[in-house]
Amino acid sequence: MFERSKKFSLTVREFIEKTHGKDADDFLHPENHPEIPQLKESVQFFKHCAKSHMPVTIIGDYDADGIMASTIMKIGLSRYGVDTKVRIPRRFSEGYGLSEKIIDEITSGLVVTVDNGIAAISAIRKAKEKGLSVIVTDHHLPKKEDEKIILPPADHIVDPWAYPDAEYTGYCGAGIAYRFIKELLPGQNTDDLKVLAAIATVADVMDITGANWILVKEGLEILNQGRMVPGLKQIIRYLDVDYFVESDFGFRLGPILNASSRLKDDGATDVFKVMSADYRDFTLPWSAKLLVENNQKRKDITKRCLAELPVQEERPIVVYSPDWMPGIIGLIAGHLCEEYGCPVIAFTDREGSDGVLTGSARSIEGFHIKNLLEECSKYLISFGGHAQAAGLSLEKENLAAFETCFKKACGPVPKGRRKKYDMEFNSFTEQMIADLEIFAPFGNGNPAPIFHMIYEFKKPVYVGDGSSFADKTEEMDFIAFGLTEKYLRCGKPKKVEMIGNISVKHFHGKIKPQFEILDFESVE
């Protein structure tokens, strides 16, 4: 079931060096503020627009990164003395990014995009024709024709991917927005906004290396000191978290920020209003609680949809249901991809478009999902994405033909692939604990080492909604998220072979190692 990875190591430091191909000390000292092309020039242009008293409209996006970027830009420009309007596209009826329809709503002034805009060529062309000024801040790839980069006709573009000689391309949209505000407000304390950029970096699954590693590490330190915007502080009041680590950004806060737009067309605007509110907003506690409740609704809906699915025998997996909400099909695809270890596409009906399906795809290493969709593009209306995730749409009548094509493009997908681990766990040492803290935060691009061990459960208990279970010893806590069903299916084994990540848990000033069980097999 489990086997050693190619990066198998005896120490955490050795694992880091094998992962990144460099000395561990070099990993700890990256360039903190890499130069971003056109950043200084765009800030100077903004100052000119502000001096001319131009009205400013911020155009954001409906995911966690877009909401955090909109909040950073809104609060940051306010501290500079500029009032702004913020427009976040509706998830289902309008879709991603700046559109000509949104430009029609803006009569004059400056448009600042965050986490979008680099591909909005026609919308920005229309904005310029109307006499609007435009600053694009984004982190997505620009369009290309015959390998030549095609940029929108904005006054200034702050997107490292637009410049082939850019020093660093790792920032998310909120990270770019934060760097813009830091350039605009030199010397001012913007730590509360840095926390938002750090959350977005993890939630948007950016590589936690280089400048992002420092950003997330410092963001966690600031948050754990209690320094944050009022809206975030209110949300955290409803979470049972004493000390935040990087996984809390991805698995607790990120889902809360994303949930409302998955359930409601303009739900992202509700989240933005909470995040950008000041302490004088007496509705803030109620509004923040509603976001947390929406996330629980999202969990319940996703769990119910997954429970209704039969066991999937074929690989890869293509599933469709007219009853699924468009906002959760990505979660369904992600869960199935994790459970079955193969590429998955989940479809549902597109709202307001008879006969058209919208789909979300997730994949595994070795199966580049965007390239696979490219091979079946003749059946698709649209598609886009990257190696492990993509979105697509097609006519319902083409679903069967597309599924056949997709499965042929994937070729044989092995079942039950052996999962790999990087280190054996025998016992804790002070050096192991120190290294796990030093090289954290872990995440995409900087994976935490996966440990392997044989363990006998002491007194396992079900936690949360019962889908997870935990076990405790004096030396260490064990937690198995979402593995209760497997534990019961295996007959509640006493002795197991298991793999997982080890982190250092902080609680009321004390620290204790925690082993997060990723998978296990009975050895009885």
Q: For tokens 């209306």, name the residue.
A: 381
Residue 507, in any domain of the structure: yes
Per-residue pLDDT reduced to its tens digit, 28-57: 999 989 999 999 999 999 999 999 999 999
CA distance readout (Å), 204 to 18, 101, 217, 246: 25, 26, 16, 13
Q: What is the pLDDT of residue 144?
A: 84
Q: Is 404 found in the same domain as 427? A: no
Residue 210, both tokens: 């280089």
Residue whose C-alpha is closest to residue 155's, from 106, 115, 98, 117: 117
Domain boundary among 380, 410, 440: 410
- pLDDT, one tens digit per residue, over 7-27 is 888 899 999 999 999 999 999
State whether residue 391 is helix, strand or coil.
Answer: strand
DSSP 92: T
How far is 369 from 266, CA to CA, in rounded Å?
Answer: 29
Q: How confident is the model at residue 1 (pLDDT cuts 50, 70, 90)?
A: confident
Domain boundary pick from 410, 427, 442: 410
Q: Are 206 and 100 in contact (CB under 8 A)?
A: no
pLDDT digits (tens, 9 = 90+) for 161-176: 999 999 999 999 999 9
- Residue 517 forms part of a structural domain: yes
Where does the pLDDT of residue 431 fall: very low under 50, low under 70, confident under 90, or very high at 90 and above? confident
**Beta carbons within 8 Å of 120's beta carbon, 6+ residues apart:** 97, 98, 99, 113, 136, 152
Q: Within this chain, do residues 404 and 449 fall inside the same structural domain, yes or no?
A: no
Indicate whether 389 pLDDT > 70. yes
Within-domain flag for 250: no
Residue 510: pLDDT band by 50, 70, 90 thresholds? confident
Question: Does residue 450 fall inside a structural domain?
Answer: yes
Say yes or no: 209 and 67 in one domain.
Answer: yes
**What's the pLDDT score for residue 380?**
96
- Is the residue at 311 inside a domain? no
Regarding whether 190 and 86 lie in a shared domain, the answer is yes
Q: Is residue 276 part of a domain?
A: no
Given this model, what pLDDT does residue 417 score?
Answer: 67
Report which listed range, 7-21, 167-181, 301-315, 412-426, is most confident. Answer: 167-181
Residues 399 and 436 in one domain: no
Whether the CB-CB separation of 478 and 470 falls below 8 Å is answered with: yes
Q: Domain range spanning residue 144?
A: 39-226
Phi, psi of 87 (to 5 degrees): -125, 115
CATH number where 498 lies: 2.40.50.460
The one-letter amino acid code at 316 reads P
Task: Please give the tally of structural domains in the chain.
Answer: 3
Note the pLDDT of residue 101. Answer: 97
DSSP character at residue 326: G
Is 393 inside any structural domain?
A: yes
Q: Are residues 215 and 101 in the same domain?
A: yes
What would the pLDDT profile of 349-364 be if each residue is shown by its tens digit?
988 778 999 999 999 8
Q: Is residue 267 part of a domain?
A: no
* 368 and 458 both lie in a single domain: no
The CATH number covering residue 352 comes to: 3.10.310.30
Whole-prediction pTM: 0.92
Please give the full DSSP string across 2-45, using - where no structure is assigned: EEE-TT--SSHHHHHHHHHTS-HHHHTS--SS---TTHHHHHHH
Predicted local distance difference test score (pLDDT) of residue 14:
94
End-to-end CA distance of the chain: 15
The arithmetic mean of pLDDT across residues 118-137, rounded, is 97
Do 192 and 153 sit in the same domain of this protein?
Answer: yes
pLDDT above 70 coverage of the chain, percent: 100
- 369 with 462, same domain: the answer is no
Q: Where are the beta strands (DSSP E) in 84-211?
A: 84-87, 110-114, 133-137, 143-145, 148-150, 156-158
| pLDDT for residue 429 | 81
Claim to verify: residue 382 and residue 445 sit in the same structural domain? no
For residues 125 and 176, state if they share a domain: yes
Is the Cβ–Cβ distance between 172 and 65 less than 8 Å?
yes
Q: Which residues contact 379 (CB under 8 A, 6 or more apart)?
A: 394, 398, 401, 402, 405
Reduce the DSSP state of residue 393 to 3 states and report it. Answer: strand
Res. 450 pLDDT band, cuts 50 70 90: very high
pLDDT for 352 equals 73
User: Which of the four pLDDT bands, split at 50, 70 and 90, describes residue 416?
Assistant: low
Number of H helices, E strands in the chain: 19, 21
pLDDT in tens, 208-248: 999 999 999 999 999 999 999 999 999 999 998 889 999 99
Which two tokens mark 343? 């590429």
Of the residues 410, 441, 461, the one at which a domain ends: 410
Q: Are residues 11 and 69 in the same domain?
A: no
